[in-house]
Amino acid sequence: MFTFKQTLRDIARHPVRTLLVSILIAVLMVASAGIYAMSMDVRHTISEIESTHSINAYLLRGLDQTSIQTLLEQMQKDEAVARAEYVSPADGLKKLETQYPQFASVFSDLTRNPIPPLIRVYPVSVQGIAGLAAELRSLAGVQTVEYDEGSVQGMANANEFVHSLLLYVLVLASFLFIAGFCLMAFSIINGKRKETAVLSIVGASNLQVLLSTPAHLVAVWALASVFFAVVLPSVIRYSTTRLKASFSWVTPKPAGVVYAGAAAVVLLASLACLVLACVIATLLAYRIDEEQRREETLLE
Reduced to 3 states, what is the DSSP secondary structure of residue 84?
strand
Measured CA to CA, the distance from residue 300 to residue 285 in angstroms comes to: 23
Region 54-147: CATH code: 3.30.70.3040
Average pLDDT over residues 147-175: 75
Among the listed residues 29, 33, 47, 32, the one whose alpha carbon sits nearest the alpha carbon of residue 253: 47
- pLDDT at site 289: 62
Q: Which of 32-36, 78-82, 165-169, 221-225 has the lowest mean pLDDT?
A: 165-169
Longest dimension (CA), the chain: 115
The domain locations on the chain are 2-49+154-299, 54-147
**Rounded distance, CA 53 to CA 112, Å?**
29
d(CA 277, CA 210): 13
DSSP string, 191-231: HTHHHHHHHHHTT--HHHHHHHHHHHHHHHHHHHHHHHHHH
Lowest mean pLDDT among 19-28, 54-63, 183-192: 183-192
pTM exceeds 0.85 for this model: no
pLDDT classification of 111: cutoffs 50, 70, 90: confident
Residues of the chain with pLDDT > 90, as a percent, come to 0
Mean pLDDT (the chain) is 76
